[in-house]
Chain A
Amino acid sequence: MGIFTNLWNSWATYEKILLGVLLLIIVLIIPALVWLFTKNKQLSLISLFSILISGFIVCITFLVANLVFSVVVTDIFKIVPFITIFTLTLSIGTTVGYFMQNHKRKDFSILEIKTEVRNDTIRLSVSLLLLLIAVAVLSPSLILSLLLALGDSLITIWLTYILVYKLIK
């Protein structure tokens, strides 16, 4: 846990407050908006859980990288949570867009979301794999952070799909 203690101690109080506000906005505002637009409790809960899971995965990744592989987590590693939450936001936005486009259709079934999320997740995974690996291989200074960002993003969007699969009935 030394990595988190060191990180916490290297932040000024003002910085800690700002970070707290940022996390609150991400965790609360996006699920709240999902609920506001879709009025669907399941989708809102899925977005909330997936954001929380992404945060948890990023923390675990840093911990494992530091403890097991003795990786020194530097400033460039900030891109890991950034790319992860960016990818997740694209995924949530796509799902909400599909729901809003189709939910008024007479033959619409909420189960369609499962197929749509699966297809979107496959396409997003292929794009992420191609782009991040291509850049990572040619950027020695970025290789570790990009591979961690790729891993975290893939785990997050696939866990979101599992949540969709399990929670939407």
Chain B
Amino acid sequence: MKLPRLKLSLNIKPLLNYILIIIVTSLFLATIFVALPLTEKFVSKASYNLTLKNGTYWSEEFVISATDTSVQSLDSIRDIFYKRLSGFGVEEISTSIIDNKIHITITSSKDKALVKELLANRFAAQVVTRKSDVNFENSGDQYAYIYAKNYDATEWDRSDFRNVYITKLKTSSGNQSYFAIFKLWPNKTEAFNSFLAKYNGQYIGVNLDGFVTPYLVDTTQKIFATPVSTEDAQQIKVMSLLYNSGLIQTDCTIDSEKEITVDTPAIDYVGVSIAIIASIIILYTYLVISKNIEKGRALKAVLATVLAASLYISFLKIFNVPIDLNYLAIEAVLLVLTTYVLSENKDPHFYIELFLLILLSSIIFLTSGSLKQLAQDTLLLAALSKVCLIVSGWYLNKIKKI
């Protein structure tokens, strides 16, 4: 027996569109509310504060002297210190050589102790072997294995390794721990393996500024890696910079440190936010009235600007990314400008995007500190602006159809 077929002529596409628009609108609103200033005052269950760098800045002048005071040597040390500090993201670095001493003035929001480590350590790595007349098993001198005086120097030092890569490896107990992997220059691999073969099964070590990290030679292992005594990501970064920013050929010490007062007046976050919103409104009103832009295009641009700014600020708030309010204000201005140019222009945007990409990437790779950070953020915001223009175009189109 055939059952009668039930015919339903229900078109669910508009319904699904409605639901989609409701979800997207809620997401937009949520992002905007999270990004708005002072949200933290009204939401008690979650922290939506901006993590500000303002107030955490410190400034200090370090005077460093070196044993070899030749111009070439001091210039080389100055370059290495600059590479270390800029690699760590120190915001302001100024260096000079006065009376055969290197003067380094730093202004930064980074951990002062870690920054000082970058200047206080030479990190001249050298492979050493145990002295035959030292008893390393002596219970009366438990730290005999640490001191460089108990070891003989070898011809192998940092210059024989192209870089030192710090990463997590499995230990003998099966746990993951940080190790410094010394990567040899290809032409030195054979000679170094022959050297290690002579000490197979014995302890040698790596001497770093007078302190030795022991290494049990095992010729079956393909890498030369010494354990690193920290699990802290920032300290690992510092160690990596100390290993890989160049070789300081002479001993150097910090002679003096002088604190400098930092004057970074905080800007009015709420006031600046209102000023930028007012500028956007005035700008697009002017453009629409002067018939420089169609209403639809202006609406799309405003929505994209608000969305991009909200997404960026929400990201900063949720992930507690430290930000300098002065630079955030400038980034907001550049975001509005980029979104406007990309939306207003009927011509291909490819050329604007390409030129911006080249300009900002060059600044990111070739500068340091706050300028590098500004270029990074601006590039991110330019990409976000492009995506938000597409999303807002799609959203407004959907709304029109409903």
Cβ of B82 < 8 Å from any Cβ of A?
Answer: yes
* Contact of A138 (CB < 8 Å), options: B79, B275, B366, B370: B275
Q: How far is the CA of A86 from the CA of B337 in the complex (A)?
A: 10
Contacts of A85 in B (CB 8 A): 359
Tell me, rounded to whole Å, the shortest Cβ–Cβ distance linking A113 to chain B: 11
Chain B residue, CB-CB nearest to A9: B96
- B95 with A90: CB separation less than 8 A: no
- B78 with A12: CB separation less than 8 A: yes
Query: Chain A interface residue count: which class?
Result: 35 or more
- B371 with A127: CB separation less than 8 A: no
Contacts of A101 in B (CB 8 A): 346-348
User: Which of B79, B332, B349 is most buried by chain A, counting CB atoms within 10 A of its CB?
Assistant: B79
- A140 with B267: CB separation less than 8 A: yes
Cβ of B344 < 8 Å from any Cβ of A?
Answer: yes
Q: Contacts A25-B358, A100-B347 known; A139 to B272 CB distance under 8 Å?
A: yes
Q: Mark A109-149, 1 if CB is under 8 A from B, else 0.
A: 00000000001000110111011101101111110001000
Contacts of B367 in A (CB 8 A): 18-19, 22
Q: Mark B61-102, 1 if CB is under 8 A from A, else 0.
A: 000000000000001001101110010000110111000000
Tell me, rounded to whole Å, the shortest Cβ–Cβ distance linking B87 to chain A: 11
The stretch from B26-34, B149-157, B279-287 touching chain A is B279-287
Contacts of B81 in A (CB 8 A): 12
Contacts of B370 in A (CB 8 A): 75-76, 78
Cβ of B345 < 8 Å from any Cβ of A?
Answer: yes
Q: How far is the CA of A134 from the CA of B179 in the complex (A)?
A: 52
- B267 with A139: CB separation less than 8 A: yes
Contacts of A96 in B (CB 8 A): 351, 355
Q: How far is the CA of A130 from the CA of B352 in the complex (A)?
A: 22
Cβ of B340 < 8 Å from any Cβ of A?
Answer: yes
The stretch from A26-34, A63-71, A159-167 touching chain B is A26-34
- B374 with A79: CB separation less than 8 A: yes
Q: How far is the CA of A18 from the CA of B87 in the complex (A)?
A: 14
* Contact of A135 (CB < 8 Å), options: B75, B287, B330, B345: B330
Q: Contacts A12-B82, A97-B348, A139-B326 known; A89 to B356 CB distance under 8 Å?
A: yes
* Contact of B337 (CB < 8 Å), options: A11, A30, A78, A87: A87
Query: Interface on chain A toward B: helix, strand, loop, or mixed SS?
Result: helix
Q: Contacts A97-B345, A123-B287 known; A13 to B79 CB distance under 8 Å?
A: yes
User: Which of A19, A94, A139 is most buried by chain B, counting CB atoms within 10 A of its CB?
Assistant: A139
Complex interface residues of chain B between 107 and 139 (CB less than 8 A to chain A) = 107
- A123 with B276: CB separation less than 8 A: no
- A119 with B349: CB separation less than 8 A: no
Tell me, rounded to whole Å, the shortest Cβ–Cβ distance linking B331 to chain A: 10
Tell me, rounded to whole Å, the shortest Cβ–Cβ distance linking B92 to chain A: 5
Chain B residue, CB-CB nearest to A78: B371
- A138 with B371: CB separation less than 8 A: no
Q: Contacts A10-B96, A90-B356, A96-B351 known; A132 to B292 CB distance under 8 Å?
A: no
Q: Mark A83-113, 1 if CB is under 8 A from B, else 0.
A: 1011101101110111011100000000000
- B351 with A142: CB separation less than 8 A: no
- A13 with B358: CB separation less than 8 A: no
- B96 with A134: CB separation less than 8 A: no
- A138 with B272: CB separation less than 8 A: yes
- B279 with A130: CB separation less than 8 A: yes
Cβ of B256 < 8 Å from any Cβ of A?
Answer: no
User: Which of A78, A87, A126, A130 is most buried by chain B, counting CB atoms within 10 A of its CB?
Assistant: A130
Q: How far is the CA of A140 from the CA of B271 in the complex (A)?
A: 12
Contacts of B355 in A (CB 8 A): 30, 33, 89, 92-93, 96
- A37 with B378: CB separation less than 8 A: no
* Contact of A86 (CB < 8 Å), options: B79, B329, B344, B378: B378
A-B contacts, 7 of them at CB < 8 A, read A25-B358, A37-B351, A82-B375, A97-B352, A127-B336, A131-B283, A139-B272
A-B pairs with the 8 shortest C-beta distances? A93-B352, A97-B347, A134-B275, A12-B82, A139-B267, A14-B79, A22-B366, A96-B351
Binding site for B on A (CB under 8 A): 9-15, 18-19, 21-22, 25-26, 29-30, 33, 37, 75-76, 78-79, 82-83, 85-87, 89-90, 92-94, 96-98, 100-102, 119, 123-124, 126-128, 130-132, 134-135, 137-142, 146
Binding site for A on B (CB under 8 A): 75, 78-79, 81-83, 86, 91-92, 94-96, 107, 264-268, 271-272, 275-276, 278-279, 282-283, 286-287, 292, 326, 329-330, 332-334, 336-338, 340-341, 344-356, 358-359, 362-363, 366-371, 374-375, 378
